[in-house]
Structures are given as structure tokens and as C-alpha cells.
Amino acid sequence: MAAEVKKEIAFEIGHVLFIDIVGYSKLLINEQSEQIQTLRKTVRGTEQVRLAEAQGKLLRLPTGDGGALVFCTSPEAPVLCAIEIARALKSHPELRVRMGIHSGPVNEVSDLNEQANIAGAGINIAQRVMDCGDAGHILLSKHVAEDLEHYPRWRPYLHALGECEVKHGTRVGVVNLHADEIGNAQPPKKFQALKKHRARVRWLEAALALIAIAAIVSAFIFVSRRPAGPALAVAEKSIAVLPFENLSDDKQNSYFADGIQDDILTALSKISDLKVISRSSVMRYRDNKRNLREIAHELDVANLLEGSVRRLGDEIRVAIDRRPHRRASVG
């Protein structure tokens, strides 16, 4: 019995090719049956499957709308198999599939029906990688791509996409494999949407930062141009930029509020005769509800700048208020 248990939990590194028929659930029953049969016949006809089966180094996992092939040979085997499948399916345009490849631990287990099954991180991650793609894509995990980079012939096929967020918030590095008529050269929709979102957010952040900086700098131009008086000039040409308040529902957006504060401090520090209090000196006033006049007195400045940032989706609002606080003379 102990030996039996040990056999069940033993695992090895498998090179997994996960295949999925796109739009399978929307097909009629007879169409589903026809496409599964065509895919099964195509897979069985590949040279890589025949070679691995002859060596006893191939495991299969049916999934209803596709399946997983686990090669216990080399990391190239599932890639070569995916290319064979893609070429064969050129004559079946109605069959739209996507494929994901990963190398990782797998182990044979028995399900509730005492049927042989396959489990392990290798299977799970291969499926997650595949889920990042669309019809025609052959996607590799970053781990597999790094293995293939050691072979010069594969380098022209590898096109890094970056990270994709998958189930349970996990992020996987994904590489698109394509060349000539193999694979899908278009970035997957998930990556296109992510790129657009990041570009839009970066543009908004940059635009708001520039507007805020321009407003603050212009507000102090008149100060720097005024004739310098004996002691009053030093007092009026001084400012502290307090930490910006994050009014967003997502408290993680506080990084953006801090970024606005940093950009304003950087711009103000370039005004030669303006005294600007350092960021480290004002951070103790974050979430501080003390009287602004008292804060100005403690920092020894005549002007305080405070503001808030609110972010709702792609919309960002920044409010800025500069308040002069003349210090009382000390007799």
C-alpha cells in the first residue's frame, strides 16, 4: 500500500501542449462532435505524437473542448507538435484553436472513476497560458521560451508579450510563437486591452502632472520677479508641498498622489531663489488635521500647497490649493 501511494504522488517534468477549440460552447452538438473528431485525427497524425507514443513517453488528458498532451521527451516536442497541428488545420478553417505550452511538474493520478488522469502545475500553467490567447495563437510560458532561446533556430519565432493576469490574480509571462504562416502574429486581445489601458492611464497621469506643475510654477513667477526686501523676501519666497490626499476608493492609488507631489517638488526646486521644503520634512503631516498656520510656522514657510487626487477607473481628478500664510513677527 505504501508503495502504491508513493507511486501516485511521484511526479516528473512534463512538456505540456494544451489545445482548446475557440467558441466550442456556441456550436451545435453535431458541430462539436465533428470538430472534436477532426482535431483528434489531426493530433494523432502528427509525427511528434507518433514518436512519443512509440517510446511510451506521451500522456493524454481530454478536456471536452480540446485536450492536453504531455511529452516526457524534450521541451521542443510540444512546440514542434503545435506547429504540425497549425499547418494541418490550414485545410480546416472552420476549426479555430488556440494552444498553450509550458514545462513543469506533472503526475499521474486516478480520478473518482478509477480512471488514469494527469495533474500538476505543468498542466495548470499550460492552460493558463493558453487562456491568454485567441484563435490561431501558439503561446509559450516565459520558462519554455527561455529554454528554446538556447537553440538559434527558434529565436526568430519568439515574440515576448509581457505578463498576463490569469485565474486567481496569478500573473504569467507569455511569449507568442509565430513566423510566416505559423501562429497568429496579432497580439492577443487581452494584451491589446492592457496596452491601451496602460497608455491611457500614463497619458492622463502625465497630462495632470504637467498641468499641476505649470499652475504651481506660474503662481510663483511673480514672487521670483519681485524686488528682494530685507527679511520679507526670504519669508515670501518659501513653500512646503504637503502630501496629497488620496480620495480614490482604491487606497492602492496613493502612489499616484505621491507622484504628483514629487513632480511639483521637482519643478519648484528649479526656481533658484525659492525656498522649497524637502519631501521628507513634510511627510509627517500626512493625514494630519492640524491647523495649516501652525504647520507653516513649524516649517518656517510663507506658503503651503495642499491637494487631493481622486481616481475612478480611467478618470483622474486633481485638486490643488496654494495658501499663503504670513508669519507673525517676533518681537
| pLDDT at residue number 223 | 44
| pLDDT at residue number 36 | 93
2-187 against 195-324: fold identical: no
Residue 98 is placed in which grid cell?
488556440
**Least reliable range by pLDDT among 59-73, 85-99, 192-206, 306-320:** 192-206
Residue type, 187: P
| pLDDT confidence tier of residue 99, bands split at 50, 70 and 90 | very high
For residue range 71-92, list pLDDT tens digits in order: 998 999 999 999 999 999 999 9
**Least reliable range by pLDDT among 7-21, 136-150, 171-185:** 7-21
The CA distance from 58 to 62, in Å, is 13
The CA distance from 286 to 121, in Å, is 44
The SS3 assignment for 183 reads coil
Q: What is the pTM of this model?
A: 0.60
Residue type, 109: V
Sequence-distant (6+) residues with CB within 8 A of 267 are 213, 216, 217
CATH code for the part of the protein at 2-187: 3.30.70.1230
Closest by CA position to 32, among listed 44, 46, 42, 22: 22
* CATH topology classification for 195-324: Rossmann fold (3.40.50)
Domain parsing of the chain, residue ranges: 2-187, 195-324
The SS3 assignment for 119 reads strand
Residue 87 is placed in which grid cell?
499547418
For residue range 12-44, list pLDDT tens digits in order: 889 999 999 999 989 999 999 999 999 999 999
For residue range 52-64, list pLDDT tens digits in order: 999 999 988 888 8
| pLDDT at residue number 184 | 94
Contact between residue 107 and residue 9 where contact means Cβ atoms under 8 Å apart: yes
